[in-house]
Structure 1
């Protein structure tokens, strides 16, 4: 089985999402935003923090989770290379807000919490964001960024595309009438 070309996989996913993802312009056109935070860098602690956020979104089950796919490194790369200054600030402020609010609400650091505690907290944040969006209020954009980056990074990683999805190297056999059995994994292209 040959290696997956991540750039082509990213383009496919962004096109399927209708180009709605933050930073989609860079992926589709190759043109990086001009107004970015100069010298933006993420520490190894930041990457570990983003890995744990990703793992709470896509946990390890019978397939490896987002942490195994190196989601923190992917998030950092996407934020540095594809987000403009305003989006970068929103993302960084969101990470800091999540860390601060989690400790205030749960009583411990995010990194010392259990996966269940992290997942429950992120699910509640997501529920509130959806509620706010549906009522016409502005929702915290960083929640959507974290989810988008986790899903995009995971399913375009080798782990996500070959272990969570079914992958057949293309060009492969075209079969327009494949049977679907409940529980089958989706196809990666």
Structure 2
């Protein structure tokens, strides 16, 4: 074997071993897919839990199975102003503590009915000029925005538009003598 190649490999391995102790693999990294948001993986998972409570899986797929949390984060990142994004992020950060205080347990440990109660009570929070009031306003804004984008993303998903309520770009021919009982699937958007 060539000595130069062996020395190069030895230097690369030594450099890599020296670099490993400085790496912290336990931290919750910020997702880089979003330009304006600083969202961690655990926050995205919390957002998925909330959207799954809003539209749970049953006979048809739920919001989490259609990956609605990704849609929510893209909409917040692209469509909201920087003030709204800040309010959303503050609410997302403060929600776990609010859920723990309201439900006496972490949000993921609550039953579905308790999660629903925490979300509904959080949507009705009102803010004032105090620090706690500003946090309550942010939580309410976060939950209401999440609900709005969950419903929008779910209804606009490929699954709903192709399998549940087929989308028709051009409406069918007019037939005035069709009974309502003869109609098979509702067609939205046309």
Question: Structure 2 length as normaliser, TM-score?
Answer: 0.63
- In the alignment, is the contact (CA less than 8 A) between 2:51 and 2:69 conserved in 1? yes
Task: Find the partner of 1:108 among 105, 110, 121.
Answer: 105
Instruction: Report how far residue 109 of structure 1 moved.
Output: 1.2
Task: Find the partner of 1:60 among 52, 57, 62.
Answer: 57
SS at match of 1:167: coil
1:84 aligns with 2:113: no
Which residue is 1:17 aligned to? Answer: none
Distance in 2, matches of 1:99 and 1:169, equals 42
- In the alignment, is the contact (CA less than 8 A) between 2:37 and 2:89 conserved in 1? no
What pairs with 1:8-47 in structure 2 (closer than 5 Å)?
39-47=36-44
Instruction: Report how far residue 114 of structure 1 moved.
Output: 2.4
1:117 aligns with 2:102: no
1:73 aligns with 2:70: yes
Question: Structure 1 length as normaliser, TM-score?
Answer: 0.63
Unaligned runs of 5+ in 1: 1-36, 133-137
- Compare CA radii of gyration and give the structure with the larger one: 2
SS at match of 2:89: helix
Distance in 2, matches of 1:141 and 1:175, equals 44
- In the alignment, is the contact (CA less than 8 A) between 1:50 and 1:71 conserved in 2? no
Distance in 1, matches of 2:153 and 2:159, equals 10
How many corresponding residue pairs?
A: 143
Unaligned runs of 5+ in 2: 1-33, 127-135
C-alpha distance after superposition, 1:129-184 (max 9, x if no partner): 5xx6xxxxx96322321111111111111123334x41144224144766556xx9
User: Which of the pair has the greater relative contact order for Cα pairs under 8 Å at 6+ separation?
Assistant: 1
C-alpha distance after superposition, 1:21-79 (max 9, x if no partner): xxxxxxxxxxxxxxxx9652322222211111111111112111111111111111111
**Root mean square deviation, CA, Å:** 3.0
Instruction: Report how far residue 99 of structure 1 moved.
Output: 1.4
- In the alignment, is the contact (CA less than 8 A) between 1:54 and 1:66 conserved in 2? yes
